[in-house]
Structure 1
Amino acid sequence: MTPHIGFNCGLVVSRKDWTDILFSLRVKIEGLSFIAGQFTKLGLYDAKGEFLRKAYSIVNSPEDYAKTEELEFLIIADLDGALSPNLHTLHPNDEVMVGDQCAGFMTLDEVPQHATELWLMATGTGIGPYLSILQTEDFPEHYTDIILVHAVRFQQDLVYKSLIEELKQKFAGKLQYVPIVSREKLDEGLTGRVPHLIDQRTLESHTGVKLDMEKTFVYLCGNPAMVRESGLSLSDRGYHKHLRRKTGHFSSENYW
């Protein structure tokens, strides 16, 4: 496969299917540099020879990449999408284009220094960058509470459970995992939508950690509707969006 401009040719080394349309790929690719929480682009040529590309967050940590030269991506095959159905056909030893640059500001370096409580709220595949962040070996010690919120439609969409259990042990009580399912009841966790659970203070009562603008920072990642509505919910409580030129209380990244 001839590399497209701005891309290099990578090789799929493993694949994990979570559901019929939700899957993870690990891709062998040399020479990249990234910060935990960042993304790069994947690309393929379609049957007509048109080059398709889309940004995907990296799930594994920079330290893991340094050891393996592999990047891991969590992908959902959108039947109405252009690239993701093609990515869904890939298996080990298949080639895929990987962008030669990584980017994104959803990193620990961007969190204001005053924050000692970190909320990582995601829907769907938006959990990917948070897993990269939590796996990094130089995670700051000053955080007293880390809340990983993962909202999905069905229980089967709650991915990386074994990894999350390992991370909970790594953080020795600092990390709480809050699964949320919107379309069926969940034995452990919550039911509903993230903005409503923020409005009703349900996330706070469930975790025992209050959203306190003096020490809390919130990342929102995933469905644009969740990101927008959750941002409004936080703004209604006096929180301000974080800007590089002006310190705030929450930041976000849309996932399509």
Structure 2
Amino acid sequence: MSQWVSGKITEVNWWTPTLFTIKVAADVAPFQAGQFTKLAMTIGDKRIARAYSYVNAPKDPVLEFYLTEVEGGKLTSGLAELEVGSSIDVESKANGFLTIEEAPQRQALYMISSGTGVGPFLSILADGKVWEKFEKVTLIHSVRYNTDLTYQDFINAYEKLFKQFTYLPLVTREAPLKGLKGRVTELISNNKIAEHLGMSELHKDSHFMICGNPDMVKETSVLLQTLGYNKHRRTEPGHISVEQYW
């Protein structure tokens, strides 16, 4: 049974007309970077809850969530109206296995995301365990437009701090200011991602963590399996971990 705590909004930041971040002060249980919890509000006469990944590192005292306002969304319409000082309920216990603790030991890690699915990977970067476990770390973020590439100051700082880290944005609907144009499955299939990273092919000794749009998650996972990578399970270590909570 879910256990809820009351939280207070401490900051709201709109990146674009539809993408925004909220920061929340709430006394939640300890969690691992990459996990998600649930946010809930009463809208009208109904209590509505949805799952969202933590963007902040577990050690940070203020919780952070990266959201998109969905037209007609039952909860996001309410979330979009939140202001500093507003109340919101947060599920105390986190869930999910898209964590460094659950990932097998491999040479390279590819964190593949679309839209707000980049959130858990930002938490993983900030947490720090990833730098000790993998020799190469690549964050791939797929969006429609260049303006959807958020958290750039954070990401650029980590590129400067850690030589093993590479950031690769993918833009699907216009020419990219940085990175490549096209869908992630297309750019894996035609080897453009590997070539952009200076390789003839993706590392065979790699682990892939995938989060974002359910279609992207499924299609990318299936594609990687055709290339010889296997789904990761606790009882059978593999190469692919995914998160789908909507």
Same fold (TM over 0.5): yes
Two-structure CA RMSD over aligned residues (Å): 1.4
Counterpart selection for 1:193 from 164, 183, 201: 183
Q: Distance in 2 between matches of 1:241 and 1:31?
A: 31
Q: Distance in 2 between matches of 1:63 and 1:184?
A: 38
2:167 paired with 1:177:
yes
Which ranges in structure 2 are unaligned for 5 or more consecutive residues?
Answer: none
Counterpart selection for 2:158 from 155, 158, 167: 167
State the TM-score, normalized to the length of structure 1.
0.92
Q: Distance in 2 between matches of 1:217 and 1:107?
A: 12
Residue 140 of structure 1: how far off its partner (Å): 4.1
Residue 30 of structure 1: how far off its partner (Å): 1.5
Counterpart selection for 1:217 from 207, 223, 226: 207
Counterpart AA for 1:10: G
Counterpart selection for 1:91 from 65, 75, 83: 83
Counterpart selection for 2:112 from 121, 124, 138: 121
User: How does 1:60-99 map onto structure 2 within 5 Å?
Assistant: 60-64=56-60, 69-99=61-91
Counterpart AA for 1:75: L
**Which 4+ runs in 1 deviate beyond 4 A?**
none
Name the count of aligned residue pairs.
245
Q: Distance in 2 between matches of 1:61 and 1:5?
A: 22
Residue 180 of structure 1: how far off its partner (Å): 0.7
Q: Distance in 1 between matches of 2:41 and 2:112?
A: 30
Match of 2:102 in 1: 110
Q: Distance in 2 between matches of 1:137 and 1:183?
A: 33
Q: Distance in 2 between matches of 1:191 and 1:137?
A: 30
2:244 paired with 1:254:
yes
Greater shift after overlay, 37-46 or 27-36? 27-36
Does the 8 A contact of 2:114 with 2:141 survive in 1?
A: yes
Once the two structures are superposed, residues 10-60 of structure 1 have per-residue CA deviations (whole angstroms, 9 ceiling, x without a partner) of 000001100111100000002421101111100000112x11000100001
Which ranges in structure 1 are unaligned for 5 or more consecutive residues?
Answer: none
Residue 212 of structure 1: how far off its partner (Å): 2.7
Does the 8 A contact of 2:14 with 2:21 survive in 1?
A: yes
**Distance change in 2, residues 1:5/1:134 (3 Å):** closer
Counterpart AA for 1:107: T
State the TM-score, normalized to the length of structure 2.
0.96
